[in-house]
Amino acid sequence: MFVKFFYTLKDVGIPVSPTAFLTLQKALYNGMVAGLDDFYTCARAILIKSERYFDLYDQVFAHYFEGVPLPEDAGFEIDAIARGLLEEWLKNPRKVADALGIDEEKLNKMSPDELIEYFKERLKDQDGRHDGGGKWIGTGGYSPVGHSGYHPGGMRVGGTSGNKSAVKVANERRYKDYSTAGPLTQANIGEALKRLRNLVPAGPKDKINVDETIRETMRNAGEIELVFDRALKDRLKVILAIDNGGWSMDPHIDIVQTLFDYARAQFKEVKTYFFHNTIYDYVWEDPARYKKPKKIVDFARNDPETRLIIVGDASMAPYELMAHDGSIHISERSGRPSIQQLKFLAETFAHSVWLNPVPASMWGYTHTIMTINAIFPMFELSLDGLEKAVTKLMAKDTTTAA
Amino acid sequence: MNQIVTDEFQGATKYVLDQELAAIVNISMRLEMPLLLKGEPGTGKTMLAYAIAESLGMPLIVLNVKSSMKLVEALYQYDTLTRLNDSRFGDSKRDVSNIDEYITMGKIGQAFVADQRTVLLIDEIDKADTDFQDDMLDVLDQMQFDIIETDQTIKATHRPVIIITSNAKKDLSDPFLGRCNFHHIAFPDPKMMRKIIHVHFPDLDEKLADNAIKAFFSMRDIDGIEKKPATRELINWIRALHADPDFRVKDLINGKLPFLGVLFKKSPDYERAQNLTTRRRLF
Distances (CA, A) of B172 to A97, A387, B132: 37, 27, 12
What are the tens digits of pLDDT across the range A29-68?
Answer: 887 777 777 888 888 888 888 777 787 788 888 888 777 6
Most confident of A296-300, A322-326, B52-56, B171-175: B52-56
Residues of chain B contacting A, Cβ within 8 Å: 20, 23-24, 26-28, 30-31, 33, 35-36, 38, 67-68, 80-81, 84-85, 88, 127-130, 170-171, 174, 177-178, 180-184
What are the tens digits of pLDDT across the range B188-208?
Answer: 888 888 888 888 888 888 888
**Mutate which: A24, A40, A49, vs B, most B CBs within 10 A:** A49
Q: Which residues of B147-164 are buried (b: 16+ CB within 10 A; e: fewer)?
A: beeeeeebebeebbbbbb
Alpha-carbon distance A130 to A141, whole Å?
8
pLDDT at A77 > cutoff 70: no
Non-local CB neighbours of A261 within 8 Å, separated by 6+ positions: B170
Query: What's the gap in Å between the CA of B66 and the closest CA on chain A?
Result: 10
Strands (DSSP E) along A287-367, which ranges?
Answer: 293-295, 307-311, 352-356
> Bridge partners of A354?
A310, A378
Lowest mean pLDDT among A87-96, A337-346, B105-114: A87-96
pLDDT at A347 > cutoff 80: yes
Which pLDDT value is given to residue A55? 78
Per-residue pLDDT band for B60 (boundaries 50, 70, 90) equals very high
Most confident of B14-18, B126-130, B217-221: B217-221
Which pLDDT value is given to residue B266? 78
Nearest to A23 among B26, B31, B174 (CB): B31
Alpha-carbon distance B219 to A219, whole Å?
68
Are B30 and A27 within 8 A, CB to CB?
Answer: yes
pLDDT at B240 > cutoff 60: yes
pLDDT, mean of residues B108-123: 90
Which pLDDT value is given to residue B121? 92
Query: What's the gap in Å between the CA of B186 and the closest CA on chain A?
Result: 10
Chain centre to alpha carbon of residue A101:
27
pLDDT at A141 > cutoff 60: no
pLDDT, mean of residues B148-173: 82
A224 contacts chain B (CB < 8 A): yes
Are B31 and A32 within 8 A, CB to CB?
Answer: yes
What does DSSP say about strands B76-78 and B103-105: parallel, antiparallel, or unpaired?
A: antiparallel
Which pLDDT value is given to residue B223? 73
Per-residue pLDDT band for A136 (boundaries 50, 70, 90) equals very low
Are B80 and A26 within 8 A, CB to CB?
Answer: no
Query: What's the gap in Å between the CA of A335 and the closest CA on chain B?
Result: 33
Are A265 and B67 within 8 A, CB to CB?
Answer: yes
pLDDT at A219 > cutoff 80: yes
pLDDT, mean of residues A269-289: 78
Alpha-carbon distance B135 to A155, whole Å?
50
Of B282 and A248, the one with more pLDDT? A248
Chain A CB contacts of B174 below 8 Å: 15
Which pLDDT value is given to residue B62? 92
- What is the full DSSP assignment across chain B? -PPP--SS---BTTB---HHHHHHHHHHHHHT--EEEE-STTSSHHHHHHHHHHHHT--EEEEE--TT--HHHHHEEE-HHHHHHHHHH--SSS-TT-GGGGEEE-HHHHHHH-SS--EEEEE-GGGS-HHHHHHHHHHHHHTEEEETTTTEEEE-SSPPEEEEEE--SS---HHHHHTSEEEEPPPPPHHHHHHHHHHH-TT--HHHHHHHHHHHHHHHT-TT-SS---HHHHHHHHHHHHH-TT--HHHHHTT----HHHH--SHHHHHHHHHHHHHHHH-
Which pLDDT value is given to residue B61? 92
* Cβ atoms of residues B160 and B120 within 8 Å: yes
User: Average pLDDT, whole number, for chain B?
Assistant: 81
Distances (CA, A) of A272 to A194, A278, A286, A382: 21, 15, 9, 20
* Cβ atoms of residues B95 and B83 within 8 Å: no
pLDDT at B257 > cutoff 80: no
- Which amino acid makes up residue A136? W
Chain centre to alpha carbon of residue B178:
22
Nearest to A26 among B23, B31, B81 (CB): B31
Percentage of chain B modeled with pLDDT above 90: 5
Nearest to B27 among A42, A222, A262 (CB): A42
Query: What's the gap in Å between the CA of A41 and the closest CA on chain B?
Result: 6
Chain B CB contacts of A266 below 8 Å: 129
* Cβ atoms of residues B188 and B41 within 8 Å: no
List the one residue out of A351, A347, A380 whose CA is nearest residue A200: A351
- Which amino acid makes up residue A275? F
DSSP alpha helices (H): ranges in A138-225? 166-172, 186-197, 210-219
pLDDT at A133 > cutoff 60: no
pLDDT, mean of residues A73-77: 48
Are A217 and B129 within 8 A, CB to CB?
Answer: no
Are A41 and B20 within 8 A, CB to CB?
Answer: yes
Which pLDDT value is given to residue B120? 92
Chain B CB contacts of A214 below 8 Å: 84
Most confident of A62-71, A311-320, B143-152: B143-152
List the one residue out of B18, B8, B69, B60 whose CA is nearest residue B39: B18
| Other beta carbons less than 10 A from residue B141's beta carbon | 13
pTM of the model: 0.58
Closest chain B residue by Cα to residue A258: B170
Per-residue pLDDT band for B11 (boundaries 50, 70, 90) equals low
Q: Which residues of A318-353 are buried (b: 16+ CB within 10 A; e: fewer)?
A: eebbeeeebbeeeebbbebbbbebbebbbebbebbb
Stated as kind and residue range, the H or E segment containing A304 is none
- Which amino acid makes up residue A148? S
Alpha-carbon distance B4 to B17, whole Å?
17
Which pLDDT value is given to residue A174? 25
Closest chain A residue by Cα to residue B178: A20
Lowest mean pLDDT among A247-261, A304-318, B103-117, B159-173: A247-261
Which pLDDT value is given to residue A103? 61
Most confident of A103-107, A238-242, B10-14, B162-166: B162-166
Nearest to B181 among A15, A45, A217 (CB): A45
pLDDT at A148 > cutoff 80: no
Chain centre to alpha carbon of residue B280:
36
| Other beta carbons less than 10 A from residue A200's beta carbon | 21
Are B30 and A222 within 8 A, CB to CB?
Answer: no
Non-local CB neighbours of B133 within 8 Å, separated by 6+ positions: B125, B172, B173, B176
pLDDT at A398 > cutoff 50: no
Percentage of chain B modeled with pLDDT above 70: 91
Query: What's the gap in Å between the CA of B249 and the closest CA on chain A?
Result: 38
